[in-house]
Structure 1
Amino acid sequence: MIEEVTDQTIVVGETNAGRDAVRLIDDLNIDLLITDLAMPDLDGIGLIKAALKLKPDLDCIVLSMHTSSEYVAAALKAGARGYLHKNATAEELKQALDAVRSGTPYLHPSVAGSVVAILRESSDLDNPIDLLSDRQREVLKLIADGHNTRDIAKTLNVSVKTVETHRSQLMDRLGIHDIAGLVKLAIRHGLADLEPN
């Protein structure tokens, strides 16, 4: 299915065993790992951790039948940048690949809400801002500083539509669906000042 999704992806190695995957990662020049969680001899969480020790810049995506928030949270804590259900469509896989390659984490819509809820309640995550990409943080800071969409687009040298997409994604990721809530969160976590510029 990966070859069908994008012509920018070349599969250089495949295996169904975790330890074999670690050897392939060490031997091959790769920049992306797509893994299941259930594998013989080394599960996907262990594989992600081992892979990132070998290649810290490696992008890791999980493609698994396990969609409960505990599995997803464990994969993200291990270093996965994307998580999809095994029944994801080719278009959803393409979205995940594009997002992860551009530095934005990707959660399949079926798991995003429950993961955000668990992470917000977790004492391990004191700052939900950590869920955001660098660009989403920039957009949030500019929103909190009182800039409108057009100003943000001009400041970041992107289109208005791109800013709207970033705003929508960060609202989904944070579970906040109004500007006032975003501003409060940004101030509470030190991303913006109480006094707008």
Structure 2
Amino acid sequence: MPGSHAGGRHLVTVSILIVDDHSAVRRGVRAILEGRDGFEVLAEAGTGAEAIELAAAHKPDVAVIDYSMPAMNGSQLARRIREASPHTEVLVYTMHESDALVRDVLGAGARGYLLKSDADQHLIAAVDALARHQPYFTERVNEALLAHYLAHPGESSQLDTLTCREREVVQLIAEGNSSKQVSVALEVTLKTVESHRASAMHKLGLESTAALVRYAVRNKLVEP
């Protein structure tokens, strides 16, 4: 973390990027974080693309990102932010309590997972831990993970079989975009979109777009 000396004391400032598509939520998160001495919110982003750009430009110590972002969910965004700024630790916060989501974001490089209902109590501690490059999970999330692994040793999620681009295509289609709109959003050809879509549906054992949408909602890739 960056640091400076002032008046004989070593002051450390933790730089933070907040990512959420709801401005009211960003204001709430900022208010909590700026109540802590030594925390500085460098920037806010309302879209995944903006977040990646800001992470690359500012190289924050910690990025606090909402999982349920449109067009690019939390695991995809975590991966892209880590690519743009490897030094940045990522904390994903969400309203969903799901061990599958925890495994998903961990696999994408995030080091912390926090439920929005726990934000008032745990957000400062979580950012502080990640700024020291230590993982952070609340006891409730830890217990859910442990229970799952004890009940399902060695199990992997179907989501783990999808590539990052296949997940992006699945999410965008489940959000109601046509294949042509997905191709524009991802800046790839229509043929490439159809190929990723077919591959994802084959891996997930799905036979229709309706089934794909239901799967995406069930697995929290999109909001219902």
* TM-score range normalised by the length of the shorter chain: 0.5 to 0.7
Deviation string 1:88-130 (CA, Å, 9 cap, x unpaired) is 2434112212222223211122211121233452357xxxxxx
Determine the structure 2 residue equivalent to 1:99.
129
Give the 3-state SS of the residue equivalent to 2:39 in structure 1.
coil
Runs of 4+ in 1 over 6 A off after TM superposition: none
Determine the structure 2 residue equivalent to 1:122.
154
RMSD between aligned residues: 1.9
Paired letter, 1:28: H
Structure whose residues are more often strand by fraction: 2
Paired letter, 1:20: E
Match of 1:46 among 68, 76, 87: 76
CA distance in 1, matches of 2:42, 2:124: 18
1:29 is aligned to 2:29: no
Determine the structure 1 residue equivalent to 2:201.
none
Assess if the C-alpha contact under 8 Å between 1:49 and 1:79 holds in 2: yes
Structure 2: gaps spanning 5 or more residues: 1-30, 157-224
Q: What is the percent sequence identity of the aligned residues?
A: 30
Determine the structure 2 residue equivalent to 1:10.
40
Q: Aligned residue pairs: how many?
A: 124
Paired letter, 2:135: P
Q: Alpha carbons of 1:11 and 1:73: their partners in 2 closer, same or farther (altered >3 Å)? A: same
CA distance in 2, matches of 1:11, 1:26: 15
Deviation at 1:70, TM superposition (A): 0.6
CA distance in 2, matches of 1:41, 1:19: 9
CA distance in 1, matches of 2:80, 2:119: 28
1:47-196 → structure 2 map (5 Å cutoff):
47-119=77-149, 121-122=153-154
CA distance in 2, matches of 1:105, 1:49: 16
CA distance in 2, matches of 1:36, 1:63: 5
Deviation string 1:72-95 (CA, Å, 9 cap, x unpaired) is 111111111111111224341122
Paired letter, 1:85: L
Assess if the C-alpha contact under 8 Å between 2:59 and 2:88 holds in 1: no
Paired letter, 1:112: N
Determine the structure 1 residue equivalent to 2:205.
none
Deviation at 1:57, TM superposition (A): 2.0
Assess if the C-alpha contact under 8 Å between 1:3 and 1:9 holds in 2: yes
Q: TM-score, normalised by structure 1?
A: 0.57
Assess if the C-alpha contact under 8 Å between 2:89 and 2:131 holds in 1: yes
Give the 3-state SS of the residue equivalent to 1:63 in structure 2.
strand
Structure 1: gaps spanning 5 or more residues: 125-197
Assess if the C-alpha contact under 8 Å between 2:33 and 2:123 holds in 1: no
